[in-house]
């Protein structure tokens, strides 16, 4: 087998994206065959607010062979079972988007169809009562799922809240132990080959020139390689996702340590609440067309759980993605390739998705245009499916109390999303596209949570006697409740398995990004 000509990999940028990439590359690619160098500058601030995740992160950590208890201790981590949405469908209304499934399908017909039939008869409890993960979130409890597919515990899905800076530090130690070389420095120039426009080297402020065969751009919003050097165009989605700024801070933790993220809608955007073991991360994502920076800061500070630990810092962004995520011999991972606002905690997942697809298509003797095209096709599709899911939250609202919500409620949405909404509104039918991230249960939770109710149900439901359906749902609900009540509380689980040391909290400075 011929030796690969691509031997020298250069990662530009550290932070979560850079060190997740470095850790995965050092684990998967053959030791001794590749040289992996990561360039980062301590002078450059990091966004540092991506602290909530979704269940695929557990797979990423497991592939790396990371011990979950050690990881949670070292990142001040906690468990995330769901997102609680407050004031989205209507003012005063709250619903959960839990991980995991609702009930069990009956005779190959989706569970929610039976639930909807009973609901139309006026005799069914909330859908959350049939989801183990939702019930655990509501009761503030957690235990690890069972590997036995016959056990209801196997349906429990979870993710994490953690300090993103500590996660990057944790992965840096992991990667450096496996041969990744870190180089401190600020990239000031990128050299392209004359014959094909490929990147051949980057130059640091010190004058040092670092050559490479393959470059991974993890430089954040600046997108030094993909955007600035290779002039890759940007696809702007701000007409669908109008929020363009966020002000973030951290505050003292108080009360119960909830195993879920909270997203509370305000008049010009929404506020996140992410509970870690030692503090709460929080911020207000907003549209600058409808509110000033100063008013956004005051809104955030007026809605904290406890005293702020740091001064608020401002981030600017544009929702969208580069039209290519892999261009020539460069792949952008994370914010360098695109930005999806943090409503459904997909920022770290998009880093993971970019890494896993890159490794599955990593070039050997030469870069194949077919593989480049396939990578771009997969990633663009992934971005667009996530985009549609996030737009759903803004568009499917009855709020008319502010100009921001008026715009969101009345805007024209992508045809792919409109089709999904219309199909569900008819008979509750839902079909996912190829490689779509969010499962059927996620779409059902948000659609129903924001009052998109099917006008009818699948007629196949009527093939089963309504008494049988009623009894089956009663048994499922009872079993879910009894199972969760046996779990330890979230705080007890953390104290028993992965108590984190107390830390001094330092401000994480975010840099301003743009197209």
What is the predicted pLDDT for the residue at 513? 34
The CA distance from 97 to 114, in Å, is 20
**pLDDT in single tens digits along all 515 residues of the chain:** 344 489 999 999 999 999 999 999 999 987 678 999 999 998 776 555 568 999 999 999 999 999 999 999 999 999 999 999 999 999 999 999 999 999 999 999 999 999 999 999 998 889 999 999 999 999 999 999 999 988 999 999 999 999 999 999 999 999 999 999 999 999 999 999 999 999 999 999 999 999 999 999 999 999 999 999 999 999 999 999 999 999 999 999 977 899 999 999 999 999 999 999 999 999 999 999 999 999 999 999 999 999 999 999 999 999 999 999 999 999 999 999 999 999 999 999 999 999 999 999 999 889 999 999 999 999 999 999 999 999 999 999 999 999 999 999 999 999 999 999 999 999 999 998 878 999 999 999 999 999 999 999 999 999 999 999 999 999 999 999 999 999 999 999 999 999 999 765 444 433 333 33
Exactly one of 80, 157, 328, 420 is catalytic; name it.
80
Contact yes or no for 160/77 (Cβ under 8 A): yes
User: 3-state SS of 270-339?
Assistant: EEEEEECCCCEEEEEEECCCCCCHHHHHHHHHCCCCCCECCCCEEEECCCEEECCCEECCEEECHHHCEE
What is the predicted pLDDT for the residue at 256? 83
Where do runs of H (alpha helix) occur along 347-414?
A: 347-360, 369-395, 403-410
- Angle (CA) 449-455-457 rounded to 5° is 95
- Identify whether 74 is a catalytic site residue: no
pTM confidence score:
0.94
Contact partners, residue 196, CB within 8 Å, separation at least 6: 328
Q: Which residues pair with 249 in a beta bridge?
A: 282
What is the predicted pLDDT for the residue at 62? 97
The pairing of strands 159-161 and 234-236 is unpaired
The pairing of strands 214-217 and 330-332 is parallel
Contact yes or no for 451/396 (Cβ under 8 A): yes
The domains of the chain, with CATH numbers, are: 8-74+164-238+320-368 (3.50.50.60), 245-316 (3.30.70)
């Amino acid at each position: 087998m011929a030796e690969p000509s691509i031997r020298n990999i250069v990662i530009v940028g550290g932070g979560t994206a850079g060190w997740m990439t470095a850790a995965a590359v050092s684990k998967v690619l053959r030791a001794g065959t590749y040289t992996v160098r990561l360039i980062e500058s301590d002078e450059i601030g990091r966004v540092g607010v991506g602290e909530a995740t979704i269940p695929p992160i557990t797979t990423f950590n497991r592939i790396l062979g990371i011990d979950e208890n050690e990881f949670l201790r070292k990142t001040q981590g906690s468990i995330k079972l769901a997102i609680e949405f407050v004031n989205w469908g209507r003012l005063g209304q709250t619903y959960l988007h839990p991980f995991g499934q609702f009930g069990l399908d009956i005779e190959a017909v989706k569970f929610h169809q039976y639930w909807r039939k009973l609901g139309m008869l006026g005799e069914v409890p909330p859908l959350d009562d049939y989801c183990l993960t939702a019930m655990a979130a509501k009761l503030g409890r957690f235990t690890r799922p069972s590997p036995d597919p016959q056990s209801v515990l196997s349906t429990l899905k979870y993710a994490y809240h953690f300090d993103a800076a500590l996660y990057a530090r944790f992965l840096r130690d992991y990667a450096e132990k496996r041969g990744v070389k870190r180089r401190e420095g600020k990239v000031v120039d990128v050299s392209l080959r004359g014959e094909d426009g490929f990147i051949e080297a980057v130059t640091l402020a010190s004058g040092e020139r670092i050559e490479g065969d393959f470059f991974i751009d993890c430089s954040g919003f600046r997108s030094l390689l993909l955007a600035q050097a290779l002039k890759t165009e940007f696809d702007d989605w701000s007409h669908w996702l109008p929020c363009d700024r966020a002000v973030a801070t951290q505050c003292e933790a108080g009360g119960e340590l909830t195993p879920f993220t909270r997203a509370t809608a305000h008049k010009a955007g929404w506020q996140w609440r992410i509970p870690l073991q030692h503090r709460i991360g929080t911020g207000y994502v907003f549209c600058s067309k409808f509110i000033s920076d100063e008013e956004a800061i005051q809104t955030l500070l007026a809605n904290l759980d406890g005293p702020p630990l740091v001064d608020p810092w401002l981030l600017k962004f544009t929702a969208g993605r580069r039209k290519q995520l892999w261009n020539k011999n460069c792949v952008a991972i994370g914010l360098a390739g695109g930005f999806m606002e943090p409503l459904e905690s997909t920022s770290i997942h998009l880093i993971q998705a970019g890494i896993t697809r890159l490794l599955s298509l990593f070039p050997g003797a030469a870069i194949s245009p077919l593989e480049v095209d396939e990578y771009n096709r997969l990633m663009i599709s992934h971005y667009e499916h996530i985009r549609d899911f996030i737009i759903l939250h803004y568009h499917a609202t009855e709020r008319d109390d502010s100009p921001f919500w008026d715009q969101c409620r009345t805007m024209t949405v992508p045809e792919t999303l409109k089709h999904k909404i219309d199909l569900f509104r008819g008979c509750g039918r839902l079909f996912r596209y190829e490689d779509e991230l969010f499962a059927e249960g996620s779409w059902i939770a948000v659609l129903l949570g924001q009052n998109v109710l099917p006008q009818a149900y699948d007629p196949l439901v009527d093939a089963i006697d309504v008494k049988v359906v009623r009894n089956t749902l009663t048994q499922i609900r009872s079993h879910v409740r009894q199972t969760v009540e046996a779990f330890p509380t979230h705080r007890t689980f953390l104290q028993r398995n992965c108590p984190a040391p107390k830390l001094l909290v330092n401000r994480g400075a975010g840099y301003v990004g743009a197209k």
